[in-house]
A = this chain, B = another copy of it.
Amino acid sequence: MEREHDFIPERKKWKRQLFRIIFKSDTRLGKLFDLCLLVLIFLSTFIVMMESVDIYDAKLHNLFVILEIIITAFFTVEYILRIITLKNKKAYIFSFFGIIDFLAILPFYLSLFFPITKYFLILRMLRMLRIFRILNLMDFMNDGYFIIRALKHSSRKIYIFLLFLMIFSVIIGSMMFMVEGHRDGFESIPQSIYWAVVTVTTVGYGDVSPGTPLGKFLSILLMLAGYSIIAVPTGIVTAEMRNKRQNLEKVCHRCGNDDIDDDARYCKICGEKVVKDITPE
């Protein structure tokens, strides 16, 4: 994510040191900075949560406001320092994490001019996404990328599957609307579709459930369908992960191809013999 800003900038020494503390995690101060950030993110999220609980907000409202001011101040200083220490400021500001960093401090400044609305909440909650930047620095994200890559590679198949599922739910929902004839929870087609999705995904709140024998029979079919076809996304992702595993194992010496199966003896791209004793991990 930070790759574009990664080179050590040719500037005054303190800027270079500051850059290393803020953007890297290979010095003691850098690690401390990341830790502080992590603590503040969690604290900030925790405050937003507690603020929403009436009994805590009644007692501790002032404390929450003061803490929010302190945290926002820290985040603001951090945001400014990030911009100062970087050469390619624009690239950072409009990068994913640049926007997240900006949104993290925006709600407070907006609240100075506008009355605080509950929609600020979400902006303040988006601060949580900053965790991923720190995890990234701390080398925790390789496994995260593995998951994201597997999901990305199987996303087309999963979207098509979800489209099937939605159309299926819409049709079954409409049928239930006819069958259960305006009973509780089936007053309209959108309501019935809501029920169909609740059922086919095996969530089953029970706020809406069939009342007529025919409705129960249709439910049984829908439940069995949902129970069986959960196999589809699972199969897609499993096959994709199995595939991705192999990618990580060996690399071809000649052409650099890194998609070499376990049992391969020749590189499938350039035909080079695969040297067995290269051991990854």
Contacts and interface: CB of A to CB of B under 8 A. Distances in A.
Interface of A: 45, 48-49, 52-54, 118-119, 121-122, 125-126, 128-129, 131, 135, 140-141, 143-144, 146-147, 150-151, 156-158, 160-167, 170-171, 174-175, 177-178, 181, 187-191, 193-194, 197-207, 209, 213, 216, 219-220, 223-224, 226-243, 245-246, 256-271, 273-274, 276
B236 A239 contact: no
A190 B146 CA distance: 30
Nearest to A268: B264
B270 A268 contact: no
A253 to B, nearest CB: 12
B231 A237 contact: yes
Contacts of A48: 174, 189
Contacts of A165: 224, 227
Interface-central residue, A49, A121, A191, by most chain B CB under 10 Å: A49
Contacts of A230: 227, 230, 233-234
B241 A226 contact: no
A243 to B, nearest CB: 7
Given A194-B219, A224-B165, A236-B231, A205 B205 contact: yes
10 contacts: A53-B187, A143-B156, A143-B157, A150-B232, A150-B235, A190-B216, A193-B220, A201-B223, A207-B209, A267-B268
B241 A235 contact: yes
